[in-house]
Amino acid sequence: MQDLLALPFFEARHADWAAEVEAWATANADRLTDHHDADGSARALARAMGEAGLLRAAVPADGALDVRALCLARDILARHSGLADFAFAMQGLGTGAITLFGGDALRAAALPGVRAGTTLAAFALSEPEAGSDVAALATTATRDGEDSWRITGEKTWISNGGIAGSYVVFARTGEAPGARGLTAFWVPGDAPGLSVAERIEVTAPHPLARLRFEGVRVPDAHRIGAPGDGFKVAMATLDVFRATVGAAALGFARRAHGLLVGRAAARRLFGAPLFDQQMTQAAIADSAVDVEAAALLVYRAAWLKDQGVARVSREASMAKLFATEAAQRVADRCVQLHGGLGVVRDSAPETLYREVRALRVYEGASEIQRIVIARAERERASQEAIARAESERASQEAIARAERERASQEAIARAERDRASQEAIARAERERASQDGIARAEGDRA
């Protein structure tokens, strides 16, 4: 981590922050994690992080999200505990839209409890028929008088679903077709009409649910952004937090790599350390490259966002795609080199393998990241072609101007030569006339 922090992506405060998170995680992450009680662990971890002040990075009081700090926290926490990373990340993702787009009153109502860790937060975008295809979202929000809305529909795959006290919900309000007709709302977890339709069990246990909204009344004051801006709010939020998913994958990969190297050094095979096998060395080398390359992509995306680049969708997608896929490769090598021990349930390699797998799906599956990247490349190529055409046009215009200037200068030069020639002729005529006059005068005198 110190080698990483020495890179020019970071400032001195980031080293202090990383040390603070590392110290907390070493003392608390494993102690507070119980994979057989994901709900209880999420609550306990969020509360402890809030008490320690770590959630100030995920839910900043000044509204300024430091993406490098978020990535460092997830990198470190994931290396210690997947549930610790989950608890931290959801407090940020579940309130990011409010942090970025909410008014002062809404921030004051929704954020303090989440920052303190006493309220869990959730981001409710996905639906049974609208996951990656946000434009297909079917949950509706209709006007209920002048000052409120009624939300009706279902959301699924909602992390912290059923235990969150704060939800950011996206619903169709109909200002335009498709993605342009969505709006974001803040919905308290105890709102009448909001219920848990199903708790969902997944390979790496964490709180997950399908939610039902049955005419849930939401004051207009809880609207996040303007009506119809929901897609923009969602994408801007994901633009910030997508790189942090790559950071979590990086943390998992670091731990798997450490286990891999340790196993290779400690395990003896055919009378020699497992490390001496060339295939083992290849696995270690490939994993080291995966980890280091993922780190550079993740922290480049975070640095660009912190520099004020408006959209880092391309770079964030690259970071998430590569880091999550690389983490899966490293985890798989870790399982493989542990042999039978690698597939023992709840062993460190097996747990890591399961925890990494979900990262390749949520907040945009790897296939979606590839689409985002490909479209960005097409756009870049188009912009470069336009820039080349503009450069060529400017060059041609400059050449034309130079030609016109040269022609003008030549015309001036010709005119000057003609004028000088006319003056010389005139002088010669005057001289001749003078000589003629002198000759006549001489003749008269004689």
* pLDDT the model gives residue 325: 97
User: Mean pLDDT in the chain?
Assistant: 93
Between CA 327 and CA 187 the distance in angstroms is 35
Residue 278 placed within a domain: no
Residue 58 placed within a domain: no
Residue % of the chain over a pLDDT of 70: 100
Between CA 119 and CA 165 the distance in angstroms is 5
Q: How far from chain centre, in Å, is Cα 172?
A: 25
Can you say whether the dihedral through the CA atoms of 147, 151, 157, 159 is positive or negative?
A: positive
- Number of domains forming the structure of the chain: 1
Residues 6+ apart with CB under 8 A from 193: 151, 213, 214, 215, 216, 217
- The closest alpha carbon to 86, from 35, 14, 51, belongs to 35
pLDDT at 373 over 80: yes
Residue 195 placed within a domain: yes
Residue 199 placed within a domain: yes
Q: Are 253 and 294 in contact (CB under 8 A)?
A: yes
363 is catalytic: yes
Residue 154 placed within a domain: yes
Between CA 254 and CA 79 the distance in angstroms is 7
Q: Which of 363, 397, 403, 405 is labelled catalytic? A: 363
Q: Which domain holds residue 136?
A: 121-229
Residue 72 placed within a domain: no
Residue 218 placed within a domain: yes
Q: What CATH number should be reported for the domain holding residue 131?
A: 2.40.110.10
* pLDDT the model gives residue 438: 83
pLDDT by residue (tens digit) across 349-362? 999 999 999 999 98
Reported confidence tier of residue 437, pLDDT bands at 50, 70, 90: confident
- What DSSP designation does 69 have? H
Residue 137 placed within a domain: yes
pLDDT by residue (tens digit) across 312-326? 999 999 999 999 999
Q: Are 154 and 127 in contact (CB under 8 A)?
A: yes
Amino acid, single-letter form, for residue 113:
G
